[in-house]
Amino acid sequence: MDRDDGNHGTMTKKMKVLITDAVDPICIDMLEARGITPDVRLKQSGEALREAVAEADGWIIRSGTTITADLIEAAGNLRVIGRAGVGVDNIDLAAATRRGVLVINAPSGNTISTAEHTCAMLLSMARRVPQANRSIAEGKWDRKSFTGSEVYEKTLGVVGLGKIGREVAVRMAGFGMNLIGYDPVLSQEAAERLGVRLVDMDGLLTGSDFITVHTPLNDATRGLLRKETLAQCRQGVCIVNCARGGIVEEKDLLAALDSGQVGGVALDVYSIEPPPVELQELLRHPKVIATPHIAASTEEAQEKVAVQITEQVIRALCGEAVQTPVNALAIKMAAQPDVQPYLSLSDRLGQLIGQLGGGRIRGITVGCRGDVPRRYSEVLTVAAVRGILSKWVTEPVNLINAPFLAEDMGIHVTEARDTAPGGYTNLLQIGLETDDGARTVAGTIFDRDEPRLVRIDDYWLEIKPEGHMIVYRNVDRPGMLAAVGSILARNDINIGALALGRAGKGEIALTAVTVDEVVAAAVVGEIAALDGIEDVRRVDV
């Protein structure tokens, strides 16, 4: 592209950037200063949106616009999509990658604002500030009803020590709180630098006076705090959720509050937004404080995000390197069709072993055998790391930032070529070392694009690594599969596929079962209680 100079000069070709969500006005000022036309079209949909994007070279959105494959197809000139914020789940990344459209985000602009809001909610809950404010606004002078509690020397349990969780920990340490945390991918050394003592999830539940969650919402974290886990907590535990609605099971909070098991709740996010009428009884509870998803809504955060994403969009349109690409490497790899199935396989195996592993992650080893895996071992290693981290890191994990996130968390990653054993010509193997031991998975590609999981630890088997799975070890005797199948059938869960691996007749075997829907924790518990079955893991790929 022609430009006057290399220092953000004016471009000879007039560019247009479509803006379909409200962003800070500085975005428009920055674009116009570079000779780019900002085309602001708020609240557009359907054919109007298709017409608007037809001439756009760039597109800036927040969470209000969903960019689908057909919109990308209609955007003949589109080169870059900028998401003013962290999440990119409202963008069809696969469609953008196929078209060579770069997707970038602004992952750090609202970190401080969200962390500060979390701390404000926690302190307000401890001292019952909103309730006391309402009382005095009603003309009352009721000091006895609003006796609060100090946070000094209380224990704060932080679930998820990503960027926001760490900032919360640093700030609450200043209030003299004892800090414990659960994060399966953060190293002990990194936690110690924060002054956080790492524990397992059970230890966090039983050891915390206050709990704050900072994880993504996925099958592994949905309903993380629910009836069963709330029952494990200390009597009167206080809970803050400024992360994602659905991590805390809202329907279980009301009973826990009424019984006194939970002493207070502070919510900024909800499973359905705005909250439906069914949640009003909870939201009106005297021990609940709630805000309308405003943790990131500060003037500073909105300006930071707007500046960051606009700078990156301008750089992309100028052909310059960007700092926060989401799919840059994926676009490059899209030109190599032979590696695509292995990229998908590596990501899936990473997701799988990340959920099979127990305890904190210490190291990851990726071994490659065969021509294609060996030629692309570096990017396949990154894909495996992305899969492992994706379940617990709050920001989107991609092929660009995965190695940096692993390094930041103190995880040692090793790439080992031609070290994957077995009788397969092409094989990808991932090893995971945790505090609880080592796990191994391996996979290959059948018929050019069909992924197969062929090994779990020392057991060789064959099953597609996809969807919802249950993996467990069992005594090799008649009736074991029937017993598990009976529990699944009783809970109306259909089996899609299964595979069995064993070392020898009558020895401990390993079974992997694919089912048609998410298996509830209670069902996993039923299976684990069967005689002869151990180490039951629910895996969602």
CB count within 10 Å of CB 479 equals 9
E strand spans, 418-494: 427-434, 437-446, 450-456, 459-463, 468-475
- Sheet strand arrangement including 102-105: 36-40, 15-19, 58-61, 80-83, 102-105
Active-site residue flag, 8: no
Please tell me the distance from the alpha carbon of residue 44 to that of residue 52, in angstroms, as a whole number. 9
* Whole-Å CA distances, 201 to 22, 25, 164, 198, 408: 39, 43, 19, 10, 22
Q: Measuring CA to CA, which residue among 242, 219, 233, 238 is closest to residue 160?
A: 242
Would you say the C-alpha torsion 349, 351, 353, 356 has a positive or negative sign?
negative
- Sheet strand arrangement including 450-456: 412-417, 361-369, 427-434, 437-446, 450-456, 459-463
Active-site residue flag, 273: yes
Phi, psi of 143 (to 5 degrees): -80, -35
Quick one: tokens of 411?
A: 């995880």
Place of tokens 């809202």: 250
The single-letter DSSP state of residue 63 is S
Residue of 32, 150, 273, 378 marked active site: 273
HEC string for 399-421? CCCHHHHHHHCCCEEEEEECCCC
Please tell me the distance from the alpha carbon of residue 528 to that of residue 541, in angstroms, as a whole number. 21
Residue of 293, 362, 374, 375 marked active site: 293
Residue of 244, 348, 452, 537 marked active site: 244
Quick one: tokens of 372?
A: 């294609």
The amino acid that residue 469 corresponds to is M
186 exposure class (CB count in 10 Å sphere: 0-12, 13-18, 19+): buried
CB 417 within 8 A of CB 368: yes
Quick one: tokens of 430?
A: 């991932």
Which are the catalytic amino acids?
Answer: 244, 273, 293
